[in-house]
Amino acid sequence: MINFYDHKTILITGAASGIGKRFAEKVAAIADVKLILWDRNPEDLREIRDQLQSLAEVHISGVDVTDREAIQFEADHYIKEQLVPNIIVNCAGIVVGKMFHEHSFSEIEKSVQINTIGSMWVARAFLHEMIDRGTGQIVNLASASGYIGNPRMSVYAASKWAVIGWSESLRLEMEKLKTGVGVTTVIPSYIKTGMFDGVKAPFLVPLLETDQIVDLMLQGIAKQKRTIRAPFLVKFVPLLKALLPYKLFDWVAGNLLGVYKSMDSFKGRKAKSKN
Protein backbone atom coordinates (compact mmCIF):
# COMPACT_ATOMS: atom_id res chain seq x y z
CA MET A 1 0.00 0.00 0.00
CA ILE A 2 2.77 2.44 0.91
CA ASN A 3 4.43 2.09 -2.49
CA PHE A 4 1.18 3.03 -4.22
CA TYR A 5 1.14 6.49 -2.61
CA ASP A 6 4.86 7.27 -2.92
CA HIS A 7 5.62 10.29 -5.12
CA LYS A 8 1.96 11.03 -5.74
CA THR A 9 0.28 14.42 -5.59
CA ILE A 10 -2.98 14.23 -3.65
CA LEU A 11 -5.66 16.93 -3.57
CA ILE A 12 -8.03 16.78 -0.60
CA THR A 13 -11.08 19.03 -0.20
CA GLY A 14 -12.60 19.64 3.22
CA ALA A 15 -9.08 19.11 4.52
CA ALA A 16 -9.34 21.28 7.64
CA SER A 17 -11.37 18.78 9.65
CA GLY A 18 -12.86 15.32 9.83
CA ILE A 19 -12.03 12.70 7.21
CA GLY A 20 -10.13 15.10 4.97
CA LYS A 21 -7.77 16.18 7.71
CA ARG A 22 -7.18 12.66 9.01
CA PHE A 23 -6.57 11.32 5.52
CA ALA A 24 -3.90 13.99 4.99
CA GLU A 25 -2.25 13.14 8.30
CA LYS A 26 -2.24 9.40 7.69
CA VAL A 27 -1.06 9.41 4.08
CA ALA A 28 1.74 11.87 4.92
CA ALA A 29 2.91 9.51 7.66
CA ILE A 30 3.18 6.45 5.42
CA ALA A 31 4.42 7.77 2.07
CA ASP A 32 6.44 10.43 0.28
CA VAL A 33 3.59 12.57 -1.06
CA LYS A 34 2.75 16.08 -2.12
CA LEU A 35 -0.47 17.33 -0.55
CA ILE A 36 -2.78 20.00 -1.92
CA LEU A 37 -5.22 20.85 0.85
CA TRP A 38 -8.36 22.87 0.14
CA ASP A 39 -10.88 24.14 2.65
CA ARG A 40 -12.90 27.27 3.26
CA ASN A 41 -11.08 27.72 6.60
CA PRO A 42 -7.56 28.87 5.66
CA GLU A 43 -6.50 29.43 9.28
CA ASP A 44 -7.06 25.76 10.08
CA LEU A 45 -5.21 24.79 6.91
CA ARG A 46 -2.17 26.76 8.02
CA GLU A 47 -2.12 24.81 11.27
CA ILE A 48 -2.25 21.53 9.36
CA ARG A 49 0.50 22.66 7.00
CA ASP A 50 2.72 23.52 9.95
CA GLN A 51 1.91 20.13 11.49
CA LEU A 52 2.72 18.13 8.34
CA GLN A 53 5.48 20.10 6.65
CA SER A 54 8.19 17.88 8.17
CA LEU A 55 6.51 14.84 6.59
CA ALA A 56 5.33 16.09 3.21
CA GLU A 57 5.35 18.94 0.74
CA VAL A 58 2.11 20.73 1.59
CA HIS A 59 0.26 23.33 -0.49
CA ILE A 60 -2.85 24.99 0.94
CA SER A 61 -5.61 27.10 -0.55
CA GLY A 62 -8.65 28.64 1.12
CA VAL A 63 -11.13 27.34 -1.45
CA ASP A 64 -14.89 27.16 -0.97
CA VAL A 65 -16.08 24.39 -3.29
CA THR A 66 -19.27 26.36 -4.00
CA ASP A 67 -17.12 28.99 -5.75
CA ARG A 68 -16.57 27.74 -9.29
CA GLU A 69 -14.27 30.61 -10.25
CA ALA A 70 -12.05 30.03 -7.20
CA ILE A 71 -11.81 26.32 -8.01
CA GLN A 72 -10.79 26.99 -11.60
CA PHE A 73 -8.33 29.72 -10.59
CA GLU A 74 -6.56 27.44 -8.14
CA ALA A 75 -6.68 24.49 -10.54
CA ASP A 76 -5.09 26.57 -13.29
CA HIS A 77 -2.36 27.61 -10.85
CA TYR A 78 -1.50 24.04 -9.90
CA ILE A 79 -1.66 22.85 -13.49
CA LYS A 80 0.78 25.60 -14.46
CA GLU A 81 3.06 24.49 -11.63
CA GLN A 82 2.86 20.90 -12.94
CA LEU A 83 1.04 19.74 -9.83
CA VAL A 84 -1.86 17.93 -11.44
CA PRO A 85 -3.20 15.57 -8.74
CA ASN A 86 -2.72 11.85 -9.10
CA ILE A 87 -5.54 11.41 -6.60
CA ILE A 88 -8.45 13.76 -5.83
CA VAL A 89 -10.25 13.06 -2.55
CA ASN A 90 -13.53 14.97 -2.37
CA CYS A 91 -14.32 15.19 1.35
CA ALA A 92 -16.02 18.58 1.68
CA GLY A 93 -19.54 18.15 3.02
CA ILE A 94 -22.27 19.48 5.31
CA VAL A 95 -25.50 18.23 6.87
CA VAL A 96 -28.37 20.40 8.14
CA GLY A 97 -30.34 17.73 10.02
CA LYS A 98 -33.87 19.14 9.73
CA MET A 99 -37.16 17.97 8.33
CA PHE A 100 -37.37 19.05 4.69
CA HIS A 101 -40.05 21.69 5.27
CA GLU A 102 -37.85 23.27 7.95
CA HIS A 103 -34.97 23.86 5.53
CA SER A 104 -34.49 27.34 4.17
CA PHE A 105 -33.97 27.72 0.45
CA SER A 106 -30.37 28.69 1.09
CA GLU A 107 -29.76 25.57 3.23
CA ILE A 108 -31.05 23.37 0.42
CA GLU A 109 -28.89 25.12 -2.15
CA LYS A 110 -25.79 25.10 0.02
CA SER A 111 -26.11 21.40 0.86
CA VAL A 112 -26.33 20.37 -2.78
CA GLN A 113 -23.63 22.82 -3.83
CA ILE A 114 -21.10 21.54 -1.29
CA ASN A 115 -21.97 17.84 -1.20
CA THR A 116 -22.53 17.26 -4.90
CA ILE A 117 -21.78 20.07 -7.32
CA GLY A 118 -18.57 21.10 -5.56
CA SER A 119 -17.13 17.61 -6.01
CA MET A 120 -18.10 17.67 -9.67
CA TRP A 121 -16.46 21.05 -10.20
CA VAL A 122 -13.23 20.02 -8.48
CA ALA A 123 -12.98 16.82 -10.55
CA ARG A 124 -13.86 18.65 -13.76
CA ALA A 125 -11.19 21.29 -13.17
CA PHE A 126 -8.40 18.69 -13.40
CA LEU A 127 -9.98 15.90 -15.44
CA HIS A 128 -8.67 16.86 -18.88
CA GLU A 129 -5.11 16.90 -17.57
CA MET A 130 -5.58 13.56 -15.82
CA ILE A 131 -6.96 12.03 -19.03
CA ASP A 132 -4.09 13.48 -21.09
CA ARG A 133 -1.62 11.98 -18.61
CA GLY A 134 -3.40 8.62 -18.73
CA THR A 135 -3.57 8.05 -14.96
CA GLY A 136 -5.48 9.26 -11.94
CA GLN A 137 -7.98 8.38 -9.26
CA ILE A 138 -11.04 10.40 -8.25
CA VAL A 139 -12.37 9.53 -4.80
CA ASN A 140 -15.82 10.79 -3.86
CA LEU A 141 -17.21 10.65 -0.35
CA ALA A 142 -20.85 9.59 -0.54
CA SER A 143 -22.90 8.08 2.30
CA ALA A 144 -25.10 5.13 3.18
CA SER A 145 -27.90 7.72 3.09
CA GLY A 146 -27.40 7.57 -0.67
CA TYR A 147 -28.91 4.09 -0.45
CA ILE A 148 -31.73 4.69 2.01
CA GLY A 149 -33.96 7.62 2.87
CA ASN A 150 -34.01 8.90 6.43
CA PRO A 151 -36.05 11.53 8.29
CA ARG A 152 -34.11 14.77 8.88
CA MET A 153 -31.71 13.85 6.06
CA SER A 154 -33.80 14.43 2.93
CA VAL A 155 -31.53 17.03 1.34
CA TYR A 156 -28.33 15.38 2.55
CA ALA A 157 -29.54 12.00 1.26
CA ALA A 158 -30.49 13.54 -2.08
CA SER A 159 -27.04 15.08 -2.44
CA LYS A 160 -25.34 11.75 -1.66
CA TRP A 161 -27.61 9.76 -3.99
CA ALA A 162 -26.42 12.17 -6.66
CA VAL A 163 -22.78 11.58 -5.73
CA ILE A 164 -23.22 7.81 -6.07
CA GLY A 165 -24.95 8.13 -9.45
CA TRP A 166 -22.42 10.60 -10.80
CA SER A 167 -19.45 8.58 -9.54
CA GLU A 168 -20.76 5.36 -11.10
CA SER A 169 -21.45 7.06 -14.43
CA LEU A 170 -18.08 8.83 -14.44
CA ARG A 171 -16.31 5.54 -13.73
CA LEU A 172 -18.05 3.89 -16.67
CA GLU A 173 -17.21 6.81 -18.94
CA MET A 174 -13.54 6.70 -17.99
CA GLU A 175 -13.45 2.93 -18.54
CA LYS A 176 -15.27 3.16 -21.88
CA LEU A 177 -12.83 5.79 -23.12
CA LYS A 178 -9.86 3.85 -21.70
CA THR A 179 -8.51 6.97 -20.02
CA GLY A 180 -6.61 5.28 -17.19
CA VAL A 181 -8.58 7.42 -14.70
CA GLY A 182 -10.38 5.44 -11.99
CA VAL A 183 -13.23 6.41 -9.69
CA THR A 184 -13.74 5.21 -6.12
CA THR A 185 -16.96 5.90 -4.21
CA VAL A 186 -16.78 5.84 -0.41
CA ILE A 187 -20.12 4.87 1.18
CA PRO A 188 -20.01 4.90 4.99
CA SER A 189 -22.68 5.08 7.63
CA TYR A 190 -22.38 7.63 10.46
CA ILE A 191 -18.82 8.65 11.35
CA LYS A 192 -17.60 10.26 14.57
CA THR A 193 -16.20 13.37 12.93
CA GLY A 194 -18.33 15.89 14.82
CA MET A 195 -20.55 16.50 11.80
CA PHE A 196 -23.04 13.95 13.13
CA ASP A 197 -22.80 14.65 16.85
CA GLY A 198 -25.89 13.48 18.67
CA VAL A 199 -26.98 10.75 16.26
CA LYS A 200 -27.99 7.37 17.64
CA ALA A 201 -26.30 4.45 15.92
CA PRO A 202 -28.79 2.06 14.29
CA PHE A 203 -28.84 -1.54 15.52
CA LEU A 204 -26.00 -3.55 13.92
CA VAL A 205 -24.63 -0.36 12.32
CA PRO A 206 -22.10 1.05 14.80
CA LEU A 207 -20.74 4.57 14.56
CA LEU A 208 -17.45 4.51 12.69
CA GLU A 209 -14.31 6.04 14.12
CA THR A 210 -12.63 8.46 11.74
CA ASP A 211 -9.50 6.32 11.70
CA GLN A 212 -11.54 3.26 10.68
CA ILE A 213 -12.93 4.80 7.52
CA VAL A 214 -9.67 6.55 6.64
CA ASP A 215 -7.76 3.26 6.95
CA LEU A 216 -10.33 1.58 4.70
CA MET A 217 -9.99 4.44 2.22
CA LEU A 218 -6.21 4.21 2.15
CA GLN A 219 -6.40 0.48 1.49
CA GLY A 220 -9.27 0.66 -0.99
CA ILE A 221 -7.83 3.51 -3.05
CA ALA A 222 -4.51 1.68 -3.28
CA LYS A 223 -6.40 -1.36 -4.62
CA GLN A 224 -8.38 0.98 -6.93
CA LYS A 225 -11.68 -0.35 -5.64
CA ARG A 226 -14.89 0.89 -7.19
CA THR A 227 -16.61 1.24 -3.82
CA ILE A 228 -15.57 1.32 -0.18
CA ARG A 229 -18.49 0.56 2.13
CA ALA A 230 -18.63 0.39 5.93
CA PRO A 231 -19.71 -0.92 8.32
CA PHE A 232 -20.48 -4.40 7.01
CA LEU A 233 -24.30 -4.14 6.93
CA VAL A 234 -24.15 -1.17 4.51
CA LYS A 235 -23.11 -3.60 1.76
CA PHE A 236 -26.48 -5.34 1.97
CA VAL A 237 -28.80 -2.33 1.93
CA PRO A 238 -29.30 -2.24 -1.88
CA LEU A 239 -30.00 -5.98 -1.90
CA LEU A 240 -32.52 -5.73 0.93
CA LYS A 241 -34.30 -2.84 -0.80
CA ALA A 242 -34.49 -4.86 -4.01
CA LEU A 243 -35.81 -8.03 -2.36
CA LEU A 244 -38.18 -6.76 0.32
CA PRO A 245 -41.58 -5.11 -0.29
CA TYR A 246 -41.23 -1.43 0.59
CA LYS A 247 -43.49 -1.68 3.68
CA LEU A 248 -41.45 -4.57 5.02
CA PHE A 249 -38.20 -2.79 4.28
CA ASP A 250 -39.47 0.30 6.10
CA TRP A 251 -40.42 -1.85 9.09
CA VAL A 252 -36.98 -3.50 9.18
CA ALA A 253 -35.12 -0.19 8.76
CA GLY A 254 -37.39 1.81 11.04
CA ASN A 255 -38.48 -0.58 13.79
CA LEU A 256 -35.88 -3.34 13.82
CA LEU A 257 -32.71 -1.40 13.02
CA GLY A 258 -33.83 2.03 14.21
CA VAL A 259 -32.43 3.83 11.15
CA TYR A 260 -35.40 6.19 10.87
CA LYS A 261 -34.94 7.39 14.46
CA SER A 262 -31.16 7.81 14.28
CA MET A 263 -31.30 11.58 13.60
CA ASP A 264 -33.89 12.40 16.27
CA SER A 265 -31.24 13.63 18.72
CA PHE A 266 -28.94 15.14 16.08
CA LYS A 267 -26.90 18.16 17.19
CA GLY A 268 -24.16 18.46 14.57
CA ARG A 269 -20.79 20.10 14.69
CA LYS A 270 -20.61 23.14 16.92
CA ALA A 271 -19.62 26.40 15.28
CA LYS A 272 -16.18 27.62 16.29
CA SER A 273 -16.02 30.58 18.61
CA LYS A 274 -14.76 33.76 16.95
CA ASN A 275 -13.39 35.10 20.22
Question: First and final CA of the chain: distance in angstroms?
Answer: 43
> Cα–Cα distance between 43 and 56 in angstroms, integer?
19
Q: Where are the beta strands (DSSP E) in the chain?
A: 9-13, 34-39, 57-62, 87-90, 136-141, 181-188, 227-230
CA dihedral 15, 144, 106, 99 (to 10 degrees): -140
Q: Are 268 and 197 in contact (CB under 8 A)?
A: yes
Under 8 Å between Cβ of 230 and 212? yes
Q: Name the CA dihedral angle for 134, 135, 139, 140, rounded to a multiple of 10 degrees.
A: 0
Tell me if residue 60 falls in helix, strand or coil: strand
Beta strands in 109-180 (DSSP E): 136-141
Residue 273 Cα distances to 163, 270, angstroms = 32, 9
156 catalytic? Reply is yes
Burial class (CB in 10 A: 0-12, 13-18, 19+), 223: exposed
- Which residue is catalytic, options 156, 190, 246, 260? 156
Tally the C-alpha atoms within 13 A of residue 20's C-alpha that lie toward its C-beta. 29
Helices (H), 190-245: 210-222, 237-243
The catalytic residues are 156
